[in-house]
Amino acid sequence: MISGRKEEIVIVGGGLAGTSAACILAEAGRSVLLIERDAEPRHKVCGEFLSIEAQTYLTRLGIDLEGLGASRISRLRLIRKRKLTEVALPFAARGLSRRTLDEALLDQARIRGARIIRGQAVRSISADPSQVHAEIAAGDPISADAVFLATGKHDVRGMKRASAGTMDDLIGFKVHYRLAMRQQQALEGLVEVILFSGGYAGLQMVEHGIANLCLVVSRTCFDQVGKSWDALLDHIASECPHLAERLQGAQSLFERPLAIFQIPYGFLHEPDSSEQQGLFRLGDQVGVIPSFTGDGMSIALHSGCLAASMYLAHGRTSSIFHHRIRSDIQRSIRLASILNRAVRHAAGQQAVFHFCRTWPAAMQHVTTLTRVHEASVHRALVAS
């Protein structure tokens, strides 16, 4: 029996999933404590591409994308070696840095009455039939009626995700650049996806004239090029002169690239009859969609809003939520995983490129199938 402080709801992690749940629960008058490991705003490895579903949730949560300076993106350009093809997106997307977006969401949670502790990490979580217990790095343990686990890529002791069957040999990198004016103008309104041997990269504008280059590469490729960022960029640029041109005269805004290892792409939480109630898994802790076609931010927001509204309707029976979210996101995660596997190989990249060039309409359809379904978004929004 763990004693210590008692709370109604504890949310662990102040990214998109955790803050969206905090907003809905606090708005409904519930007592919410959110614990975020980072003491200060921080950049995160992310393509920073906001789909229409993500935007719908953000508007509901009071985020003014226009006011925050988010870029507008209407076309996708796919690039492989010296060839490129372009297609109109089936929606108007936006680009905004995670540093700005996550802080804006934390502010919204605070405004609605959530209490926020920053700079402390939850070390472990355990559950018994009536309560969930969180042990924090500093201070007394906390017991709560419900804990919303929203730690993104980072597992917490006691609640580790099952990694079997996931593609976890990939590394994600991100750098913000100030591009030369001519290149910035050329990139306006576009997300450029570059296929290269060993991985793929996304380049787009975010706020205040900043460009985000985010890429995913296999560990084997990274090792082969000599385990250095500069060597990796040279490798991509030698295969794809388009990127070399974009980065000519660009100023890197980071001292070194941000990196993330062992992303468990394809993970999907499988609820079982023995799982304790009161522990709600959100965002990357419930499902990780590969970022090639992915829509991880809208899954995070969808899971946060859905879990909060289901807690308000059904109390701490988290298994109802886990079954619902699984059925909402499994199709997109499966399809995105198939595409992610395909683009890891030259033949698959060629096939995807050829497909996009020959059937742009089918390509638009695929981007729709890899996103959270409109009806699921509608249901979660009505409930919240």
Ligand X SMILES: Cc1cc2nc3c(=O)[nH]c(=O)nc-3n(C[C@H](O)[C@H](O)[C@H](O)COP(=O)(O)OP(=O)(O)OC[C@H]3O[C@@H](n4cnc5c(N)ncnc54)[C@H](O)[C@@H]3O)c2cc1C
Q: Does 7 bind ligand X (CB under 6 A)?
A: no
Q: If binding is defined by CB under 6 A, does position 12 make contact with ligand X? A: yes
Residue 38 neighbours by CB distance under 10 Å: 15
Residue 378 CB, nearest distance to ligand X (Å)?
19
Alpha carbons 273 and 279: distance in angstroms, whole number: 13
Which of residues 207 and 284 has its CB atom nearest to ligand X in the complex? 284
Q: For residue 338, what are the contacts with CB-CB under 8 A and spacing of at least 6?
A: none
Interactions with ligand X, residue window 273-302 (CB under 6 A): 283-284, 291, 294-298, 300
For residues 312-371, which are near ligand X according to CB under 6 A?
none
Instruction: Give residues with Cβ within 8 angstroms of 372, minimum separation 6.
Output: 53, 295, 298, 299, 302, 328, 329, 332
The size of the chain, in residues, is 384
Q: Which of 14, 198, 199, 257 binds ligand X (CB under 6 A)?
A: 14
- 203 close to 173: Cβ distance less than 8 angstroms: no
- In the bound state with ligand X, the residue whose beta carbon lies nearer, of 80 and 99, is 99
Q: Is 36 in the site for ligand X (CB under 6 A)?
A: yes
Q: How many whole angstroms separate alpha carbon 350 and alpha carbon 342? A: 9
Give the three-class secondary structure for 227. coil
Contact 351, 362 (CB under 8 A): no
Taking the complex as a whole, the smallest distance from the CB of residue 155 to ligand X amounts, in Å, to 8
SS3 123: strand
56 binds ligand X (CB under 6 A): no
Question: Least CB distance from residue 18 to ligand X, whole Å?
Answer: 6
Residues of this chain, 246-265, that bind ligand X according to CB under 6 A: 260, 263
Of 272, 60, 252, residue with least CA distance to 173: 252
Give the residue from 149, 148, 117, 145 showing the smallest Cα distance to 7: 145
Residue 127 or 180: which CB sits closer to ligand X?
127
Binding test (CB under 6 A) with ligand X, winner from 21, 26, 46, 78: 46
Binding of ligand X at residue 17 (CB under 6 A)?
Answer: yes
- Count other Cβ atoms within 10 Å, centred on residue 110: 16
Tell me how far apart the terminal alpha carbons of the chain are, to the nearest angstrom: 34
Query: Of these, 104, 109, 152, 336, which contacts ligand X (CB under 6 A)?
Result: 152
Kindly tell me which residue out of 6, 72, 154, 314 binds ligand X, with binding defined by CB under 6 A. Answer: 154
Q: Which of 131, 151, 337, 384 binds ligand X (CB under 6 A)?
A: 151
Does residue 149 touch ligand X according to CB under 6 A? Answer: no
Task: For residue 306, state whether it binds ligand X (rule: CB under 6 A).
Answer: no
Give the pair of three-digit tokens for residue 177: 């650049």
38 near ligand X, judged by CB under 6 A: yes
Binding site for ligand X (CB under 6 A): 12-18, 35-38, 44-49, 54, 121-122, 150-154, 156, 172, 214, 216, 260, 263, 283-284, 291, 294-298, 300
